[in-house]
Every structure is written in C-alpha cells, then in structure tokens.
Chains A and B, each alone.
Chain A
Amino acid sequence: SAVISQKPSRDICQRGTSLTIQCQVDSQVTMMFWYRQQPGQSLTLIATANQGSEATYESGFVIDKFPISRPNLTFSTLTVSNMSPEDSSIYLCSVEQVSGNEQFFGPGTRLTVL
C-alpha cells in the first residue's frame, strides 16, 4: 500500500486567510482525492485531482474556494481560500494506485479557523 504524508498536520488560522495543504505519496499514483471531514461527520469528497488536467470538483465545491494543484504523480496541494469558521474540518488526501480500485488515506490535516 502507498504511504501518504500531509503537511501541516494541524493549523489554527484567522478568518479571511488561506492555507495550503500538501499531500505527498511514496509512489506514483493515477488518481488523488481530497476530502473534508467536518467535526463528527463523515467524509465528503471535495475534488479528484489527476496529473496534467484540471481537478474535477463535486457539487458544492468550487475552484475559487478550493484550488488544487497536481504537478506530478506523487504530489498534490489543496488550498482553502478566504477561510471562515465553517471551514474548520479535517482535510484528508487519498490516492488510488494504478493496480486497483481501493483508496489509501493520509493522516489528515486538522484545520481550525477562528
């Protein structure tokens, strides 16, 4: 299975600012995904990030708010822009390896917006 790291692991930010979360994988992967897990809630898919193409966003999420980069097959970033307290969540990166249909998850980034 892939080993995934995320930076930062947690952060406390002021409203109106932006935070970029990094996701690094130890092997090349085809698809990377970004999820949001609000306090006490399940995971909601924000977008799918494929290398060399624009990210595909789910209903309710827009690029202006959550810009994503995928410069190569092992790395992606998610930016949470113009943050408000409602953005306080855990943000998780996951990957799907070339070989299969299962996803492996990073440890998450716990974001608190004051």
Chain B
Amino acid sequence: AQSVTQPDIHITVSEGASLELRCNYSYGATPYLFWYVQSPGQGLQLLLKYFSGDTLVQGIKGFEAEFKRSQSSFNLRKPSVHWSDAAEYFCAVGTTSGTYKYIFGTGTRLKVLA
C-alpha cells in the first residue's frame, strides 16, 4: 500500500541550529515528492518538490531536500533555523500511476527555541 511516514511528530531545535526532518515513503514506482509547510492558521505552502534529475533539490526559505531511492527517503534540511520556521511540516507523495493524487505524511511540528 502507498504510504508516507514522518517518524518525528515533534522536533525542537534552537535558533541557529541545523534541522533535518525525516520522510520515508512506500510506493511502487518513482513518485513525485513534495514538502509543504503550514504555519498556525494558514494554508499549506510548497517548500520544494522533486520530480526527476538531480536528487538534491533547493527550495524556498533556505530549505533543501535529498531524494534517496535506496532508502525511499526524502529528508528536508536547513543549515540554520530561524524562529519564523516554527510550523508544521508535511511530506507528500504524488502518485504517478493511475489517478494522480497526493498522499500526505502525518506531519512534524517544529518548535524553535530562542
């Protein structure tokens, strides 16, 4: 069955520290991969996406993610976290066979300490 796992429900980091949010997926074909951020009371904003090609993708707000096919992972990273990065982060898979749709992970809530 298709699924997306974000193992960390909550993560707390200090401002200026590095960040890595984990995402693993289960999908038979090569998926499209996305990271979204949801700030309190807001909709979802696309941070970055991977369709094909270079497995290290750059996104907005200084985020990057690396697709590792062998590990079925698409982890999100940021070298230095800012207080404004506190939000909920969702990894999503876009299915590439059959009816195209997203499967979302359960989300990781990031808290940033001053």
A binding-site residues for B, Cβ under 8 Å = 1, 4, 31, 33, 41-45, 48, 56, 92, 94, 96, 101-108
Residues 33-74 of chain B: 1 if any A CB is under 8 Å from the residue's CB, otherwise 0?
010100000111110010100000000000000000000000
Which residue in B32, B43, B49, B101 is a CB contact (below 8 Å) of A105?
Answer: B43
Residues of A within 8 A of B45 (CB): 105
Q: Decide: B44 and A92 in contact? CB cutoff 8 A.
A: yes
Q: Decide: B94 and A101 in contact? CB cutoff 8 A.
A: yes
Top 4 nearest A-B pairs by Cβ distance? A105-B44, A107-B43, A105-B43, A43-B104
Q: Decide: B46 and A102 in contact? CB cutoff 8 A.
A: yes
CB distance from B11 to the nearest CB of A (A): 16
Residue of A43, A48, A106, A107 with most chain B CB atoms under a 10 A cut-off: A43
Residue of B nearest to A31 (CB): B100
CB distance from B85 to the nearest CB of A (A): 19
CA distance A63 to B81 in the complex (A): 44
Chain B interface mostly: strand
CA distance A41 to B90 in the complex (A): 11
Q: Decide: B43 and A108 in contact? CB cutoff 8 A.
A: yes
In addition to A43-B102, A101-B100, A102-B49, 18 A-B residue pairs with Cβ atoms within 8 Å of each other are A1-B46, A31-B100, A33-B101, A42-B104, A42-B107, A43-B44, A43-B104, A44-B104, A45-B102, A48-B99, A48-B101, A94-B44, A101-B51, A103-B102, A105-B36, A105-B44, A107-B43, A108-B42
CA distance A102 to B28 in the complex (A): 20
CB distance from B95 to the nearest CB of A (A): 10
CB distance from A7 to the nearest CB of B (A): 14
Residues of B within 8 A of A108 (CB): 42-43
CA distance A92 to B51 in the complex (A): 24
